[in-house]
Amino acid sequence: MKKLEDYVVSIPDFPEPGIIFRDVTSILQDGDGLHLAIDSLLKMLDGMDFDVVLGPESRGFIFGMPVAYALHKSFVPVRKKGKLPRKTVSAKYELEYGTAEIEIHEDAIRPGQKVVIIDDLIATGGTIEAIVGLVEQLGGEVVKICFVMELAGLKGREKLKKYPVESAIVYEGK
């Protein structure tokens, strides 16, 4: 049986020379790869006590939803600003070239709820750092953050060092 990293297509010099782009969509395109990714995330949560799975748009939806379903937990989507229909809380965060803003419904997390965040990739950690801030603003407790892939060379874990972080695949570079 193949390992999860065997399903990842690596594209050299994209989006610029010297960068190796790790394409998570190649995992999704293979039923065995997708199954292995979800099973890896489920294993990270084995025996954990939590209430809510939270996933950022859009690949956090893809990987977080089946985990929430399998463990009979609720799922909270984190969206780009202006996409949610009810009252929200939002957070701005830094991108490589500028800023972005994300939001969740203000009633999505209740005080005291234990939250697991699931996403496809951790790079610089800025998006997840903003999401953690929203969870805590609403009174939730982040108990674990899970990723399919991690680009360790970008040091995203440093922004999340107060939280348990686990990745199915860790690439040492950027």
**Residue 9 CA to its chain's centroid (Å):** 19
110 as an active site residue: the answer is no
Which residue out of 5, 16, 57, 59 is catalytically annotated? 59
150 as an active site residue: the answer is no
Longest dimension (CA), the chain: 47
Which residue out of 5, 16, 94, 96 is catalytically annotated? 96
Catalytic residues, which ones?
59, 96
